[in-house]
Amino acid sequence: MTKIVNHWIGGKPVESAAGASGTYGPVTDPATGAVTTKVAFASVEEVDAAVAAAKDAYASWGTSSLAKRSAILFKFRALLDAHRDEIAALITAEHGKVHSDALGEVARGLEIVDLACGITVQLKGELSTEVASRVDVASIRQPLGVVAGITPFNFPAMVPMWMFPLAVACGNTFVLKPSEKDPSAAVRLAELFAEAGLPDGVLNVVHGDKVAVDRLLEHPDVKAVSFVGSTPIARYIHTTASANGKRVQALGGAKNHMLVLPDADLDAAADAAVSAAYGSAGERCMAISAVVAVGAIGDELVAKIRERAEKIKIGPGNDPASEMGPLITAAHRDKVASYVTGAAAQGSEVVLDGTGYTVPGHEDGHWIGLSLLDRVPTDSDAYRDEIFGPVLCVLRVDTYDEGVALINSSPFGNGTAIFTRDGGAARRFQLEIEAGMVGVNVPIPVPVGYHSFGGWKDSLFGDHHIYGNDGTHFYTRGKVVTTRWPDPSEGPAGVDLGFPR
């Protein structure tokens, strides 16, 4: 029997309404190609019901004590910890990534719950006493109200957890619209949060597509929108929600470069390139998709990457022997394959061609093997586009300066890494490179929970990065209170029309 994933509104599952607005979409197991689940697609009225539930809940949650909020978050953390395996299995069944990788995703999401558990410290304001005679000034931060989150398919548990734990800890109530391709993990997180004691309506989940998203972007009771997904949609979300007067952070796509200097440990660089390019089948916004080899190391580095890539075992994510799973949909697999089949005609040398790969017994899965393209021209599609699959491009330059100029000419600026033994070069790179997250001998420099995550240029629209201190700032607004309590022995100050000097 097909599983059904319903909305989660006001602390309980809500079926999609019958009639014209009551539609469902299919969810596929990428390893078999079989439709396993039906997910409700929200109508405008259903989104409105979720926002109304969140607005009702805000009336008391927004003024609830920090002690109460942090106690619930600690319980949620314990439940998450106890259900890591179950959530990872849900991710694997709908996304396809291997179980160990899914467990890593849950762990990185849990890090943000850890951060949210410490909200008592983060929301401490600032106080200056005696700024003038008997005058004190306090800066405080208050929640916004109802906020919305719209998330991508590639991290169905972690990216929602980049948003709602901190938003809710700050006193907001939340409406999440997860990816319709793998919606189950988000609902399970909402159930666990409810089990931890979260009052009804504080966290709501509505599923669907553009209809649901557009309603959230225009709803007058939604005060802020966090988005993570592809660049064209991030740009659209930022423009539309801003035009509707909302605070917006919209994180987009990427093309992450790894600059390898001639003095680097080439074995370590090759290990890192293979792990970062092909992990999660390249469906990570921080995946390394372009290696830039400096000087004469190109041939040796490509040989080392090839040797390692050829050994990666591809198979279903729930098979412990698999190191890389399938892609999310057959259509996406075909699109990824088209970059490889078109690469030679556009000037690349195809070192490994992963197209046409299949896993015996799972022929209908969305499989593709690992591809490696060398001497990739910068004007080719494989270099210019975010492929979001297991395709690694190698480019060659003569000098460090040429490498930095190449990376800085990319419209994306999410993550980047340098591999070198030269501390001076690494230090220059940190300062000169135009990207939001930089790794030095670290291929995927995803910040830990207490530092914020975000890219530059077309990888982020808005001025707040996500989680960390930026997250707390995004989900609160500042207020400054200036107070004078005259000493009882003093008389009235008297009228003075002058500006305080």
What are the catalytic residues? Answer: 285
Minimum CB–partner distance for residue 179 and ligand NAD (Å): 5
* Member of 91, 147, 213, 216 binding ligand NAD (CB under 6 A): 213
Select 229 or 390, whichever has its Cβ closest to ligand NAD.
Answer: 229
How many CA atoms, within 13 angstroms, populate the side-chain half-sphere of residue 482? 4
Minimum CB–partner distance for residue 102 and ligand NAD (Å): 15
**Does 339 sit near ligand NAD (CB under 6 A)?**
no
Select 335 or 375, whichever has its Cβ closest to ligand NAD.
Answer: 335
Restricting to residues 377-416, which ones interact with ligand NAD according to CB under 6 A? Answer: 386, 388, 414
Instruction: Give the separation between CA 291 and CA 255, rounded to whole angstroms.
Output: 10
Instruction: Give the separation between CA 248 and CA 26, rounded to whole angstroms.
Output: 30
Minimum CB–partner distance for residue 390 and ligand NAD (Å): 14
CA angle 393, 269, 451 (to 5 degrees): 90
Minimum CB–partner distance for residue 305 and ligand NAD (Å): 22
Instruction: Give the separation between CA 454 and CA 286, rounded to whole angstroms.
Output: 10
In the chain, the amino acid numbered 2 is: T
* Member of 248, 254, 292, 294 binding ligand NAD (CB under 6 A): 254
Check residue 448 and report its DSSP letter: P
3-state class (DSSP) for residue 430 = helix
Is there a contact between 314 and 417 (Cβ–Cβ < 8 Å)? no
**Does 210 sit near ligand NAD (CB under 6 A)?**
yes
Is there a contact between 415 and 435 (Cβ–Cβ < 8 Å)? yes
Restricting to residues 262-301, which ones interact with ligand NAD according to CB under 6 A? Answer: 285
CB under 8 Å to 389, separation ≥6 — which residues? 281, 282, 283, 327, 332, 333, 335, 336, 339, 368
* Member of 88, 113, 148, 251 binding ligand NAD (CB under 6 A): 251
Place of tokens 């003024």: 63
What string marks each residue from 170 to 189 as x (binds ligand NAD by CB under 6 A) or -?
-------x-xx---------
Is there a contact between 54 and 201 (Cβ–Cβ < 8 Å)? yes
Q: How many residues does the chain have?
A: 501
Minimum CB–partner distance for residue 168 and ligand NAD (Å): 20
How many CA atoms, within 13 angstroms, populate the side-chain half-sphere of residue 464? 22
Select 385 or 398, whichever has its Cβ closest to ligand NAD.
Answer: 385
Select 254 or 293, whichever has its Cβ closest to ligand NAD.
Answer: 254
C-alpha distances in angstroms, 53 versus 47, 91, 171, 221, 346? Answer: 10, 27, 15, 11, 53
Minimum CB–partner distance for residue 274 and ligand NAD (Å): 20
Find the part of the chain contacting ligand NAD (CB under 6 A) among 19-27, 225-233, 391-399, 481-489.
225-233
**Does 154 sit near ligand NAD (CB under 6 A)?**
yes
**Does 472 sit near ligand NAD (CB under 6 A)?**
no
In the chain, the amino acid numbered 140 is: I
Select 420 or 452, whichever has its Cβ closest to ligand NAD.
Answer: 452
Q: Which residues bind ligand NAD (CB under 6 A)?
A: 150-155, 159, 177, 179-180, 209-210, 213, 228-230, 233, 251-254, 285, 386, 388, 414, 455, 459
